[in-house]
């Protein structure tokens, strides 16, 4: 799970800095994209060249005069997670008080990524009331501590203050990076299907696919393994496996087959209810007169999923105009676990827009209305909601 993840390691001035070289090496071996920053004191213990050689990247240590105009904000934004190992009493104190007088402390202050601190110091420093206060403040601020362990310290002393081993730091990092949908396999459908009339024309709908794509991206960010079955012309979201389809029939076949391999199916696509009963082999011509196009029903994908013997958790989307009454009826009768109803006629909601106003309806018809949000935010909240539902399900057995 560390493969391709952008991990920033901050090394500060303690004897355990030598262990940071092994930590960085293990991160690189696990496929992470690693960059290193060091305090000046840290360079008294290990040279930046060591880290540069392991990562194949330059090591940052100064706020000013570096190649980057603003190295702390650049690194802070780049990182998916920051590890400070070892974390000195001095750097813990700075981080606890929001000080930013050097590159490492400024980056800790500037980042929104999770920060993992691996303290290392003599027992007296660790047990000092000031350090205890600083650690409590940092934990209260949502920073994660790993260690210190108890054991032999530099200079022959023994006691708490020893930096935990790199493998333990890696485990803590993995926990930190795990999203709420970690380990969940999710299938998302997106886009409006196209039902051909002849080789050049089709019956389509106004769905842009933005909502489904936002859900797929949010699910990837939440740690899920995502398959996106799409009929939309949008750039593929990174991290999701994309299966391209065009018609309701193709979408149905893919979804029903893949549904056996997943834990959740989110049907955000706008699937045609009707299609031309006959697809003309050659282009219909004006000169042949006005054609009559007879329609027939497309397969009901949700009904096929509901009928599966071992079915995944099912989320259906219902595009409504005006009231949610029909969506509530459908939520109760269709047998899906969750219905996301959206009022496509509401201001700022629906097809093509970047915002959406939705309501969640459970299988008993209980409705939870959400305010107007960006589709990205709806997707994020929906993923959190799904994580909660899956946990509840798992707890019930
Ligand atoms: C030999 C030696 C070893 C040190 N080891 C530690 C240590 O393990 N932990 C610590 O918090 N400070 C240690 N210090 C003190 C820090 O290097 C010092 O507080 C420094 O200002 C930390 O700066 P930094 O947080 O910017 O790296 C040590 C100092 C010396 C001289």
The domains of the chain, with CATH numbers, are 6-177 (3.40.50.1950), 185-396 (3.40.50.10300)
Residue whose CA lies nearest to ligand 1 atom number 19: 90
In testing the pocket of ligand 1, which one of 11, 13, 85, 103 has its CB within 8 Å of the most ligand atoms? 13
Distances (CA, A) of 141 to 93, 108, 112, 203: 13, 12, 12, 54
Other beta carbons less than 10 A from residue 369's beta carbon: 11
Q: Which residues of 331-366 are buried (b: 16+ CB within 10 A; e: fewer)?
A: bbebbbbbbbbbbbebeebbbebebbbbbbbeeeee
102 touches 63 (CB < 8 A): yes
User: How many angstroms is it from 388 CA to the middle of ligand 1?
Assistant: 43
Atom of ligand 1 nearest to the CA of 90: 25
Compute the half-sphere exposure of residue 174: CA atoms within 13 Å on the CB side of its CA: 14
For residue 288, what pLDDT is reported? Answer: 93
Which residue intervals of the chain are DSSP H helices?
17-29, 48-55, 71-78, 89-97, 103-110, 123-127, 129-140, 166-177, 210-221, 248-258, 301-306, 325-333, 375-396
For residue 37, what pLDDT is reported? Answer: 98
The yes-or-no answer on residue 205 being catalytic is: yes
Residue whose CA lies nearest to ligand 1 atom number 17: 13
Q: CA-CA distance, 269 to 127, in Å (whole number)?
A: 57
Q: Which tokens in the block code for residue 207?
A: 């769905």
Q: CA-CA distance, 229 to 188, in Å (whole number)?
A: 6
280 touches 292 (CB < 8 A): no
104 touches 39 (CB < 8 A): yes
**ω into 86 cis (within 30 of 0):** yes
User: How many angstroms is it from 295 CA to the middle of ligand 1?
Assistant: 77
**ω into 148 cis (within 30 of 0):** yes
CB-based contacts of 388, cutoff 8 Å, min separation 6 = none
For residue 352, what pLDDT is reported? Answer: 67
Q: CA-CA distance, 95 to 97, in Å (whole number)?
A: 5
Q: CA-CA distance, 212 to 245, in Å (whole number)?
A: 14
Burial of 165 (0-12, 13-18, 19+ CB in 10 A): middle
> What residues line ligand 1, using a CB cutoff of 6 Å?
12-16, 39, 41-42, 88-91, 102, 120-121, 125
For residue 182, what pLDDT is reported? Answer: 87
For residue 7, what pLDDT is reported? Answer: 97
Residue-wise pLDDT tens for the chain (397 aa)?
788 899 999 999 999 999 999 999 999 999 999 999 999 999 999 999 999 999 999 999 999 988 899 999 999 999 999 999 999 999 999 999 999 999 999 999 999 999 999 999 999 999 999 999 999 999 998 899 999 999 887 777 788 999 999 999 999 999 888 888 988 999 999 999 999 999 999 999 989 999 999 999 999 888 899 999 999 999 988 889 999 999 999 999 999 999 999 999 999 999 999 999 999 999 999 999 999 999 999 999 999 999 998 899 999 999 887 788 889 998 899 889 999 998 877 777 766 678 888 999 999 999 999 999 999 899 999 999 999 999 888 887 7
Other beta carbons less than 10 A from residue 288's beta carbon: 10
Considering the candidates 90, 134, 205, 356, report the single residue annotated as catalytic. 205
Q: CA-CA distance, 334 to 131, in Å (whole number)?
A: 58
176 touches 170 (CB < 8 A): no
User: How many angstroms is it from 41 CA to the middle of ligand 1?
Assistant: 7
Other beta carbons less than 10 A from residue 170's beta carbon: 19
Distances (CA, A) of 196 to 199, 227, 246, 250, 293: 7, 25, 9, 12, 11
């Amino acid at each position: 799970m560390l493969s391709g993840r952008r991990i920033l390691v901050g090394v500060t001035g303690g004897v355990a800095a030598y262990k940071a070289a092994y930590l960085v090496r293990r991160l690189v071996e696990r496929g992470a994209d690693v960059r290193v920053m060091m305090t000046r004191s840290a360079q008294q213990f290990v040279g930046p060249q060591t880290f540069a050689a392991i990562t194949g990247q330059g090591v940052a240590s100064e706020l000013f005069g570096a190649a980057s105009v603003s190295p702390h904000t650049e690194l802070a934004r780049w990182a998916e997670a920051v590890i400070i190992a070892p974390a000195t009493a001095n750097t813990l104190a700075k981080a606890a008080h929001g000080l930013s007088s050097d590159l490492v402390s400024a980056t800790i202050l500037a980042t929104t990524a999770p920060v993992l601190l691996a303290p290392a110091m003599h027992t007296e420093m660790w047990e000092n009331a000031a350090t205890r206060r600083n650690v409590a403040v940092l934990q209260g601020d949502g920073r994660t501590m790993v260690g210190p362990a108890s054991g032999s310290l530099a200079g022959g002393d023994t006691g708490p203050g020893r930096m935990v081993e790199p493998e333990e730091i890696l485990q803590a990092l993995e926990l930190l990076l795990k999203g709420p949908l970690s380990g969940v396999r999710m299938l998302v459908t997106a886009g409006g299907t196209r039902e051909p009339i002849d080789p050049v024309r089709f019956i389509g709908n106004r769905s842009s696919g933005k909502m489904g794509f936002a859900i797929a991206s949010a699910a990837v960010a939440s740690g899920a393994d995502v398959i996106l079955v799409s009929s939309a012309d949008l750039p593929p979201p990174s991290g999701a496996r994309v299966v391209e389809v065009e018609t309701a029939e193709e979408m149905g076949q893919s979804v029903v087959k893949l549904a056996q391999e997943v834990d959740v199916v989110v049907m955000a696509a706008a699937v045609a209810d009707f299609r031309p009963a006959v697809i003309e082999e050659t282009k219909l011509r004006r000169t042949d007169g006005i054609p009559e196009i007879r329609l027939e029903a497309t397969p009901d994908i949700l009904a096929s999923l509901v009928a599966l013997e071992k079915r995944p958790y099912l989320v259906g989307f219902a595009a409504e105009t005006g009231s949610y009454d029909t969506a509530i009826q459908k939520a109760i009768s269709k047998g899906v676990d969750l219905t996301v109803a959206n009022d496509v006629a509401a201001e700022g909601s629906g097809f093509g827009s970047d915002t959406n106003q939705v309501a969640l309806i459970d299988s008993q018809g209980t409705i939870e209305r959400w305010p107007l949000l960006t589709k990205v935010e709806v997707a994020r909240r929906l993923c959190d909601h799904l994580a909660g539902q899956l946990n509840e399900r798992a707890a019930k057995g």
